[in-house]
């Protein structure tokens, strides 16, 4: 039995109540084998609040009318992200899909949404790639980025990054788009201004519906932590709102197989993309 589970009283019934409430509100699902993981992530918040048990915290969340869900999302966030990650999809966007969009005289601006953007490395990588290709000078482009963690969005809005974020970024791009300062490297203000940052929970369809109208949605490496039910609900919202054709980019380890047949998996360049026909 784990230390937090034992000292703060994560009983079987309390775990199920807390796990199911988190799943309902966020889409994140902790299977029975991940009980200790949930306890380890949530317990520091209980200690900070002076709450003596997980059951008491469950009731705090259930009837929360303030910002406690934001604090919980900060605790549950997985901050594993870096610049220039899984770039085959971004290259497919910049080199194939954006030209097709522009040539087909579709509405301006061209909209791109980076869902679950964490601290912002993904949408800024997209912005860098578009800038390198000269697209910002040729066509109006709007990039939106969102996350459910207030702390993650605050870091994204700040735009200062540590060494671990640069492990895949070509050195020349680092020198071109970042300036070193105390505490890290600051993204170019002009490039940073290309992205609009939002606080949005993928399980809250009212929050994501205005963003889901984008024809290009990057929702990568977050469905790994969702239940199939939550994935189906969120993807259905994407499909309802995105135009035709619409493109959904998932992480390399993610699949909609056995979850939904609303989108068709297609190869675009060297990338695999889900398409709304």
What is the model's pTM?
0.94
How much is the pLDDT for 80?
A: 82
87-276 adopts what CATH topology? Rossmann fold (3.40.50)
The secondary structure element, H or E, covering residue 86 is none
Percent of the chain with pLDDT over 70: 97
How much is the pLDDT for 5?
A: 47
d(C-alpha 113, C-alpha 209), whole Å: 11
pLDDT reading at 3 higher than 80: no
Question: At 162, phi and psi to the nearest 5?
Answer: -95, 175
Mean pLDDT across the chain, nearest whole number? 95
Domain positions in the chain are 3-76, 87-276
CA distance from start to end of the chain: 50
How much is the pLDDT for 1?
A: 40
**pLDDT per position as a tens digit, 161-194:** 999 999 999 999 999 999 999 989 999 999 999 9
**pLDDT per position as a tens digit, 48-72:** 999 999 999 999 999 998 899 999 9
Percent of the chain with pLDDT over 90: 91
How much is the pLDDT for 7?
A: 47
* Residue 183 φ/ψ region, left for φ over 0, alpha for ψ in the -120 to 50 degree band, beta for the rest: left
Average pLDDT over every residue of 202-231? 97
pLDDT reading at 6 higher than 80: no
**pLDDT per position as a tens digit, 255-274:** 999 899 999 999 999 999 99
**pLDDT per position as a tens digit, 110-133:** 999 999 999 999 999 999 999 999
The strand order across the sheet containing 264-268 reads 195-199, 141-147, 110-114, 216-218, 246-249, 271-276, 264-268
Average pLDDT over every residue of 185-205? 98
CATH class of 3-76: mainly alpha
pLDDT reading at 2 higher than 80: no
Question: What crossing angle do the helices spanning 68-76 and 54-62 adopt, rounded to 10°?
Answer: 120
Show the tokens assigned to 116.
């679950």
* Whether the domain at 3-76 and the domain at 87-276 fall into the same CATH topology: no
How much is the pLDDT for 8?
A: 61
d(C-alpha 170, C-alpha 121), whole Å: 14
CA–chain centroid gap for 141, Å, is 20
């Amino acid at each position: 039995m784990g230390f937090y589970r034992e000292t703060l009283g994560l009983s079987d019934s309390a775990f199920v109540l807390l796990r199911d409430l988190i799943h309902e509100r966020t889409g994140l699902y902790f299977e029975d084998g991940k009980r200790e993981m949930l306890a380890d992530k949530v317990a520091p918040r209980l200690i900070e609040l002076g709450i003596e048990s997980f059951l008491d915290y469950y009731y705090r969340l259930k009837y929360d009318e303030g910002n406690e869900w934001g604090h919980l999302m900060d605790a549950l966030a997985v901050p594993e992200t870096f610049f220039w990650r899984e770039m085959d999809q971004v290259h497919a966007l910049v080199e194939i899909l954006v030209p097709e969009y522009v040539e087909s005289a579709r509405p301006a601006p061209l909209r791109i949404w980076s869902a679950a953007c964490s601290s912002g490395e993904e949408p800024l990588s997209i912005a860098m790639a578009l800038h390198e290709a000269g697209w910002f000078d040729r066509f109006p482009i709007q990039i939106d980025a969102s996350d459910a963690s207030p702390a993650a969005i605050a870091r994204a809005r700040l735009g200062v990054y540590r060494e671990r974020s640069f492990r895949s970024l070509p050195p020349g791009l680092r020198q071109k788009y970042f300036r070193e300062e105390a505490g890290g490297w600051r993204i170019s203000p002009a490039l940073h201004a290309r992205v609009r940052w939002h606080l949005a929970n993928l399980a809250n369809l009212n929050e994501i519906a205005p963003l889901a109208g984008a024809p290009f949605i990057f929702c990568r490496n977050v469905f790994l932590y969702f239940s199939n039910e939550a994935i189906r609900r969120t993807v259905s919202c994407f499909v309802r709102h995105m135009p035709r054709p619409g493109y959904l980019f998932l992480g390399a380890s993610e699949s909609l197989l056995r979850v939904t047949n609303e989108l068709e998996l297609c190869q675009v360049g060297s990338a695999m993309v889900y398409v709304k026909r």
